[in-house]
């Protein structure tokens, strides 16, 4: 299929472009490079359009010129803290812009859409592991923006019987391409694994662990870490299974949770180096434990995570970060 990958120069988008190529599809990167990387476009060597998703004329032209069959949407802003400080920015970029994409798709007769959603739609869940039936009670503008888009997609599918979509709610994206060609480069970086590896490499002076008194096995938060290649493969599986009248909505995770301390210890084992750590108080809003029940993804997509051992995930990240301690361009 011809696939327009919005946000294809970013972290998850770029890995999905790579996996699409390897699966025999024809991806096209669409990215304004505000948070993506020019280096990614050069590495992947696929057609690309540098433009904003709000640019209806350019977007529509790209859909038509490349005869796009499916749009994959990774072009959201994704910092929870920033969303609290700048909610209008998040509703504009994550919600209004997505509406523009859907309108351009309708004008261009493109009816297949795979949406990068998030476990943040659940907020603080009552039951762990989290199933898709868990209440939707997001606690940040980021989480609310994703949940709003999911509801918009449901409404559009009712209005347009030819519109097909998947909304994939995933947990902690992590790791880098197994062959070392692509990595993770955010500014600022907030994900635990790259922050720990940057501390090991001296890019940052230390890592702070927020809270050691949680009711977990070692007192630190527990999260579900899913390898970015597994995420990419799930998006492709969803795309290939889209059917009219049968939206795909499912969690993407490993079904296992690992604590902050366990991730730090594994980073030390993989790198052979100690992590400079300081311990601080809990952060407001941090959940005790979040991990997925991924059984619906297996049922609907025939998919499950290949990389469930954090050592494999962290080894893939270390392979890249040890060669690119300051990211693609630095």
Catalytic residues: 142
CA dist 148 and 52 (Å) reads: 21
Residues β-bridged to residue 169: 117, 251
Q: How far is CA 83 from the centre of its chain?
A: 16
Handedness of CA 99, 101, 104, 110 (dihedral sign): negative
User: Token pair for residue 150?
Assistant: 């999911």
The number of beta carbons lying within 10 Å of the beta carbon of residue 326 is 11
CA dist 144 and 150 (Å) reads: 10
CA dist 125 and 235 (Å) reads: 24
Residue 291, exposed/middle/buried by CB under 10 A (0-12, 13-18, 19+)?
Answer: buried
CA dist 230 and 234 (Å) reads: 6
The most distant pair of C-alpha atoms in the chain lies apart, rounded to whole Å, by 56
Question: In the 8-state DSSP scheme, what is residue 292?
Answer: B
Residues β-bridged to residue 73: 6, 115
Closest CA to 15 of 149, 152, 170: 170
Q: Do residues 193 and 259 touch, judged by C-beta distance below 8 A?
A: no
The number of beta carbons lying within 10 Å of the beta carbon of residue 128 is 17
């Amino acid at each position: 299929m011809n696939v327009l990958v919005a946000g294809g120069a970013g972290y998850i988008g770029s890995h999905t472009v790579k996996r699409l190529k390897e699966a025999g599809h024809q991806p096209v990167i669409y990215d304004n490079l505000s948070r993506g990387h020019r280096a990614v476009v050069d590495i992947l060597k696929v057609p690309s359009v540098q433009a904003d998703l709000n640019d209806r004329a350019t977007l529509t032209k790209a859909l038509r010129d490349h005869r796009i069959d499916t749009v994959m949407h990774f072009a959201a802003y994704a910092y929870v803290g920033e969303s609290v400080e700048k909610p209008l920015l998040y509703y504009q970029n994550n919600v209004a812009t997505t509406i523009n994409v859907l309108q351009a798709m309708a004008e261009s007769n493109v009816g297949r859409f795979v949406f990068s959603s998030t476990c943040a739609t659940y907020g603080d869940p009552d039951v762990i592991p989290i199933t898709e039936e868990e209440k939707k009670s997001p606690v940040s503008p980021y989480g609310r923006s994703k949940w709003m888009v999911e509801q918009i997609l449901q409404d559009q599918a009712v209005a347009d019987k030819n519109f097909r979509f998947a909304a994939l709610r995933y947990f902690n994206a992590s790791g880098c391409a197994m062959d070392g060609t692509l990595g993770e480069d955010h500014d600022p970086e907030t994900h635990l694994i790259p922050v720990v590896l940057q501390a090991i490499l001296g890019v940052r002076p230390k890592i702070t662990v927020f809270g050691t008194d949680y009711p977990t096995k070692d007192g630190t938060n527990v999260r579900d870490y899913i390898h970015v290649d597994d995420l990419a493969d799930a998006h492709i599986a969803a795309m290939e299974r889209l059917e009219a009248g049968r939206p795909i909505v499912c969690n993407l995770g490993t079904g296992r949770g690992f604590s902050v301390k366990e991730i730090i210890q594994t980073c030390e084992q993989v790198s052979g180096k100690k992590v400079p750590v300081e311990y601080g108080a809990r952060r407001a809003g941090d959940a005790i434990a979040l991990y997925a029940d991924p059984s619906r993804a297996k049922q609907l997509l025939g998919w499950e995570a290949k990389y469930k051992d954090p050592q494999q995930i962290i080894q893939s990240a270390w392979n890249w970060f040890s060669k690119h301690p300051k990211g693609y361009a630095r």
